[in-house]
Amino acid sequence: MIIFIDDRPIKVIGLNKAKSLTTTDFDHLIDAKLEAVRPENLEGHVLILNVLLPTINRLFTILKENELPHFQSITLVTHDKVATEEQIKKQYKVVKAAGGVVRNEKGKILMMYRLKKWDLPKGKLEKNEKAKTGAVREVEEECNVEVRLEEKICTTFHTYTYKNEHILKQTKWYSMEILDDSKMKPQLEESIEKLEWMDRKQIHTALINSYSSIRYVVKRYFYEGEDKWAI
C-alpha cells in the first residue's frame, strides 16, 4: 500500500520485504519502540521500524497538523501489514474512485491536461457502482471515447481536505484498449483542457509536470511487478 499525502508517498511494508531495504537510502531512521515520532524528524526520506497502531495514530495526527515542507517520503515497517493499513484508513473518510490507462493501436497512451498538470482519466464511483464499471464510465465521459476494459493495474490512495474533512481517495486503475476515438474531446466541465495520445518518450516528459501518484500508475503499467514509485 502506498498513500500519497500532498503528493508525497507513504509506503507500508512487512518484515520480509524490509530485509531488502538499505538504510543508506533514507535520511532518518526511527525505531518506534525506542522513540516517539516527532515533526522535526520527518525530513527527507524517512524509515520507521516497529510500527504499531499507536504509531500510526501519532504519525497521521502530525501529518494533518503540520506543513512539513522537507518531508519527501515515509516507509513504515510493520509485523501486521493488514492491520496497519486498516488503521491508516480509519484516519480518513474513504472515497472510492476508478480510472484507466488507455492504449491505442499504435501503443500510445491517452493523457489529459487538467488543472495545469498532466493526468489520467478517473473519477468517483457512483452509489453501489463496481470499480470496473465506474472506470470505463469515467474514461468515456471525460474523454468522449469508447474503450474496452482489460486487467487491473494497481490501487492508489491519496489524501485531500474538503470542507474541513480529511479524505482518503482510493482509486482502482485498469488498463484499457481504445475502441473508438473519432469523437474524442475533453470534458470541459471537469476542467480538462486537452487530450493527447503520447508515446513513452512523450509520457516521460509530460510526467515531469504531473503527480507522484500518476507517475506510480504509469510505472506499474509499463513495468508490471516493480514496486517503486520513481520513474
pLDDT tens by residue, 125-178: 999 999 999 999 999 999 999 999 999 999 999 998 888 899 999 999 999 999
Q: Does one domain contain both 55 and 119?
A: no
User: Average pLDDT for residues 42-59, to the nearest whole number?
Assistant: 96
Query: Which helix (H) or strand (E) covers residue 60, if one does?
Result: helix 53-65
Evaluate whether 55 touches 87 at the Cβ level (below 8 Å): no
* Whether pLDDT at 9 is above 90: yes
pLDDT confidence band for 13 (50 / 70 / 90): very high
From 89, 107, 126, the end of a domain falls on 89
- The residues pairing with 110 across neighbouring beta strands, listed in sequence order, are 197
Q: Does one domain contain both 79 and 185?
A: no
Evaluate whether 26 touches 59 at the Cβ level (below 8 Å): no
**Amino acid, res. 29:** L
- The residues pairing with 149 across neighbouring beta strands, listed in sequence order, are 176
User: Average pLDDT for residues 111-127, to the nearest whole number?
Assistant: 97
Task: Write out pLDDT tens, residues 179-219.
Answer: 999 999 999 999 999 999 999 999 999 999 999 999 999 99
Residue count (the chain): 231
Evaluate whether 8 touches 66 at the Cβ level (below 8 Å): no
User: What is the reported pLDDT for 224?
Assistant: 66
Q: Does one domain contain both 46 and 133?
A: no
pLDDT confidence band for 230 (50 / 70 / 90): very low
* Whether pLDDT at 231 is above 50: no
**In the chain, how many domains are there?**
2
The residue range of the domain holding 56 is: 2-89
Q: Does one domain contain both 151 and 203?
A: yes
Q: Does one domain contain both 111 and 165?
A: yes
Q: Does one domain contain both 68 and 155?
A: no
Q: How many helices (H) and strands (E) does the chain have?
A: 6, 12
Phi, psi of 75 (to 5 degrees): -115, 125
pTM given for the model: 0.87
User: Average pLDDT for residues 112-130, to the nearest whole number?
Assistant: 97
Grid coordinates standing for 170? Answer: 482510493
Q: Does one domain contain both 108 and 189?
A: yes
Match 480529511 to its residue by C-alpha cell.
166
From 50, 66, 89, the end of a domain falls on 89
In a domain, 54, yes or no: yes
Q: Does one domain contain both 66 and 36?
A: yes
Q: Does one domain contain both 83 and 114?
A: no
- The residues pairing with 124 across neighbouring beta strands, listed in sequence order, are 97
